[in-house]
Chain A
Amino acid sequence: MALKGNLRDFTFSQLLNLINLAAKTGTLVVEGSSDIARVFFRDGKLSYAQIGAEDSGLAAILQRTNRISTSQYRILAERARMMSDKELGLLLINAGYLSQQDILDSLTQYIVEVVRQLFTWVEGFFHFETDETSPNGKIPVRIDLENLIIEGTRQLQEWEMLQEEIPSLDMALKFTDRPGANISNMNLNVEEWRVVSFVNPQNTIRQIGQATHLSDIDIRRVVYSLLQAGLVEIIRPGGGPVITNRMFPTENPDEQKSLVNRLIDRIRTI
């Protein structure tokens, strides 16, 4: 019987478990709400993964994993446009720019990252194709699934907890009027800082996530930590303009002037 169904009924970690136990070879295609992912397996081991229209060429992966700089990436993307990943990999190794291990480590890091994202997909059709084992010209790797499944299951539990705590990304945040005593022991990281700078009753959590380039799970993680610290609280969005980090909430010079005058009047009365 063909392996196909919906993630709603059969989770991604269950699928991986099955592929691992049955030592399957083939491609798992998952159609999520906004992207299609293709995950390749050989004898029950993960060999490659791609998601959506993201550039998954070797040059892009090397740049994303910080093995090459952005300018080096641009040169490679231009000059090696007609080369397959295997050809480009060989060229880089023979020229002494990178070792085989560097390339395999980068690919492994990228592929694992793609698969990690899939653990949070809770809806979407999937099917398994046994006739397609790896994308053309790509360099396959060999990654055991056991650890990924354990990690993914943990991630799914975290995701469920975060969804329970932050049920909708369409809610907004505001600073707590009376922060808890534990604030004094808090130390924000750069990501948290970026989110804090966008906290405003008019910005939804989703907008903050987009503005700070954080994925759904990452923005939930950051918001959860700020909630736990008692720094912010979730409120209904105030409506109105979209996210902004501008000097003034309005572009009308008269309104800007009026705003400054209101600030002056208020400060005089403190």
Chain B
Amino acid sequence: MQTVKIVVTGPFNAGKTEFIRSVSEIDVVSTERKISLEEEKVKETTTVAMDFGRITVDEDLVLYLFGTPGQKRFDFMWEILSEGMLGFIVMVDSTRSETFREARSILETFHAYAPTPYVVAANKQDREGAWDIEDMRLALRLDPTVKFLPCVANSKEKVKSVLLELLYSILAEMDKNPQGKSG
């Protein structure tokens, strides 16, 4: 059995757990805790260690989706998670501009750990108060070549399209650099 992994990262409450839950064939293994810090009480629980979901491709290949803990104080786990990833997805909450700077910083951190392909997903695009995609691109200082995709994490179709875009980027990267990757 061969396994590969994609990492889903982003700031606290960006929708990473929901994203994985939408496509995983198993109940997402989630290590959530009740929020204790006042400033983080925008939701009841948060991921403190990891989420992971699984997609069986065929009898020889399994894709694991790993969600990172959102809070900065758990960033010691990011490097461990990034080892050997095929690529990563940065989730950004389109309704909370105060998290954009952190999203940018997470993106840079993960890219430094492993220069693998990535895409950025603007989550909660269906919500009132969601920022316009192009405005977000500017606020996040994303290069025009970076794929920045609208997303609604509880919509399977939207999640699928984000995953597919990442895989297309991985294929494109392989075409550019055809010697093969060992990580």
**Of B4, B48, B57, B168, which contacts A248 at CB under 8 A?**
B4
Known: A190-B76, A249-B4. A264 touches B164 (CB 8 A): yes
Chain A interface size band reads 35 or more
Minimum CB–CB distance from A39 to chain B (whole Å) comes to: 36
B167→A267 contact, CB < 8 A: yes
Q: Which residues of B come within 8 Å of A, CB atoms?
A: 1-4, 23, 26-27, 29-33, 48-50, 52, 54-58, 61, 63, 76-77, 80-81, 83-86, 116, 156, 160, 163-164, 167-168, 170-171, 174, 178-183
Minimum CB–CB distance from B115 to chain A (whole Å) comes to: 11
Q: Which residues of A come within 8 Å of B, CB atoms?
A: 175, 177-179, 183-184, 186-188, 190, 193-194, 196-197, 200-202, 231, 238, 244-253, 256-257, 259-264, 266-268, 270
B55→A266 contact, CB < 8 A: yes
Additional pairs, 16, CB under 8 Å, beyond known A238-B1, A270-B160: A179-B26, A190-B77, A196-B50, A200-B1, A246-B183, A247-B181, A248-B4, A248-B180, A248-B182, A249-B3, A251-B182, A253-B179, A259-B4, A266-B55, A266-B57, A267-B164
- Tell me the total A-B contact number using a CB cutoff of 8 A: 119
Give Cα A248–Cα B55 distance, bound, in whole angstroms.
16
Q: What residues of A have a CB within 8 angstroms of the CB of B85 in the complex?
A: 247
Q: Is the interface of B mostly helix, strand, loop or mixed?
A: mixed
Give Cα A190–Cα B118 distance, bound, in whole angstroms.
25
A267→B23 contact, CB < 8 A: yes
